[in-house]
Amino acid sequence: MSSPHLPERTGAEILCVGSELLLGSIVNSNARWLADQLAALGIPHFRQQVVGDHRSRLIAALQSASRRCRLLITTGGLGPTPDDLTTEAIAAAFDTALEERPEVWADIQAKLVRRGGIPSAALRRQALLPVGATLLPNPTGTAAGMIWSPLPGFTLLTFPGVPSEMQVMWNATAAPWLRQSGLAQGVFASRILRFWGVGESTLAGQVEDLLACPNPTVAPYAGAGEVTLRLTAAAADPAAAAALLDPLEAEVRARTAATCFGADDDSLASVVLAALRQRGQSLAVAESCTGGGLGAALAAVPGASDVFLGGVIAYANAVKQQLLGVPAELLREHGAVSDPVARAMAEGVQRQTGSTWALAVSGVAGPGGGTPDKPVGLVHLALAGPQGCTSEGVQFGASRGRGWIQTLSIGEALNRLRLALG
């Protein structure tokens, strides 16, 4: 039981360990992944922390969390080097001795032999666990985790910081254990609806009354050109959660019409490729300022090769002329960043590849190269299809930098094709 002088422990917390996270050297993807897993299991999740490789601060964070939550999940700090302090700090935080687990050390040695490595005293540190802890096996790495309840009503799960190892351990051992733990409070199910061509404030206004709903909830998020709505339902089981989400999704889609391009793992590229595949049509691209980014977005989708024929990166005017057949007089008269040249680029790659559709992008991504007539952020987007070719100049602005302009150019080009495909 919890102490009468402390609030009742509730929910789960995530504690990520590693100075590299605090320094920004790596992105903390583990916390996001774990949060999704907890939601899927119906375990309430109330707090996340990041602590560097510092023993006393880690001990303090562990002890503090033990007074608040029923479940603490840690990632990182389980390796063989001196700055891998998580297991030692956990034992110290709860005044428990460490013991070497022979089965862990045997597993480490076997893995090293298979990989051609040599066992060492440093690696042997990974075989230490607090007395009474249950092993959480690591099938792919050498850093084992633990499941341990050092205090009544409080449980620790520890994982290495390597995402691939952590995820395998979670799916193989932790998730099944948690399903039987009694920590779940029903099920949380989420869907993400994705939008292009509408601002976050405008979208929020379209669904303003839905944002106040307690269950299911609706929350807007803005990204680089794309806006999302996360729909989340709490229910007793997945079927009941889906029954709450289905009518809400239908209502949102009805209100937002064509600006909603997909859900969950959909991207503009995957939606466009699926529409082309359904029609038995193909696509090619010609790029200047995006430097291959448009083609890369399409090629990142599995199975893209059956409809995406390829593309041309034509930065220099000479390449536009030689590979795409852009007339020299168009370049002289209008410049590379213009509707006539963008149209000629799209028609050129369509002609060269025999594609049904073609997209072309030419613009000033900056930070230099802009002029009063053609400022940084001006991009011309052309779309060639069975009914001809159109082009339009779009001003994305210069304030957010080159990468932002390129990302918006790619998304806007794909969205125009999506709308044309109906």
Q: What pLDDT shows up at residue 4?
A: 45
Domain match, 159 and 217 both: no
Nearest to 252 by CA among 260, 262, 242: 260
In a domain, 382, yes or no: yes
Q: How far apart are the C-alpha atoms of 345 and 114, rounded to whole Å?
A: 54
User: Is 386 strand, coil or helix?
Assistant: coil
Question: Rounded mean pLDDT of 218-233?
Answer: 94
Can you give the residue range of the structural domain that contains 203? Answer: 187-263
Check residue 308 and give its pLDDT: 98
Q: Which of these three, 207, 241, 263, is where a domain ends?
A: 263
Instruction: Assess if residue 6 is contained within a domain.
Output: no
Residue 391 has pLDDT above 50, yes or no: yes
Q: Verify that 327 and 373 share a domain, yes or no.
A: yes
Residues 202 and 306 in one domain: no
* Range in 91-100, 178-187, 296-305 with the lowest mean pLDDT: 178-187
Residue 229's CB: how many other CB atoms inside 10 A? 26
Asked if the structure places residue 3 within a domain, the reply is no
Handedness of CA 82, 87, 93, 95 (dihedral sign): negative
pLDDT at 146: 96
Mean pLDDT across 177-192: 88
- Interior CA angle at 238 toward 232 and 242, to 5°? 55
Kindly give, in sequence order, each residue whose CB lies less than 8 Å from that of residue 344, ignoring residues fewer than 6 positions away: 320, 324, 325, 326, 327, 330
168 lies in a domain?
yes
Report the pLDDT value the prediction gives residue 402, as an integer from 0 to 100.
Answer: 96
- Domain with 45 in it: what CATH number? 3.40.980.10
245 plus 368 within the same structural domain = no
| Tens of pLDDT, residues 324-357 | 999 999 999 999 999 999 999 999 999 999 999 9
Count of Cβ atoms closer than 10 Å to residue 197 Cβ: 18
Q: Is the same domain home to 153 and 196?
A: no
- The reported pLDDT for the residue numbered 187 is 81
Strand partners of residue 12: 45, 71
Residues 145 and 258 in one domain: no
Q: Band the pLDDT of 108: cuts 50, 70, 90.
A: confident
Does any domain span residue 45?
yes
Residue 121 confidence (pLDDT):
75
| 278 and 411 inside one domain | yes
Average pLDDT over residues 175-183: 91
* CATH label of the domain that carries residue 246: 3.30.70.2860
Q: Which two tokens stand for residue 307?
A: 């409809």
Q: How many domains does the chain have?
A: 3
For residue 256, tell me if it sits in a domain: yes
Are 39 and 96 members of one domain? yes
Domain annotation covers residue 4: no
Average pLDDT (107-118) is: 81
How confident is residue 7, by pLDDT bands cut at 50, 70 and 90?
Answer: low
Q: Both 230 and 291 in a single domain?
A: no
Which of 230, 263, 296 lies at the terminal end of a domain, its last residue? 263
Segment 277-290 shows an average pLDDT of 98
Residues 137, 92, single domain; the answer is yes
Residue 3 has pLDDT above 70, yes or no: no
- Residue 141 pLDDT more than 50? yes
255 and 305, same domain (yes or no): no
pLDDT at 231: 96
Q: Which one, of 363, 373, 359, 367, lies nearest residue 336 by Cα? A: 363
Is 60 exceeded by the pLDDT of residue 1?
no
**Residue 82 confidence (pLDDT):** 82
In this predicted structure, the answer to whether residue 318 has a pLDDT above a threshold of 50 is yes
Position 5 pLDDT exceeds 70: no
Asked if residue 102 belongs to a domain, the reply is: yes
pLDDT at 349: 98
* φ, ψ for residue 226, nearest 5 deg: -95, 140
Sheet order of strands, 357-363 included: 308-313, 283-287, 357-363, 378-385, 388-395
User: Contact, 128 vs 101, CB < 8 A?
Assistant: yes
**For 356-386, what is each residue's pLDDT tens digit?**
999 999 999 999 999 999 999 999 999 999 9
Is the model more confident about 409 or about 81?
A: 409
Mean pLDDT, the chain, as a whole number?
Answer: 94
Domain boundary among 131, 160, 179: 179
The CATH number for 287's domain is 3.90.950.20
280 and 308 in a single domain? The answer is: yes
Q: What's the predicted TM-score (pTM) here?
A: 0.81
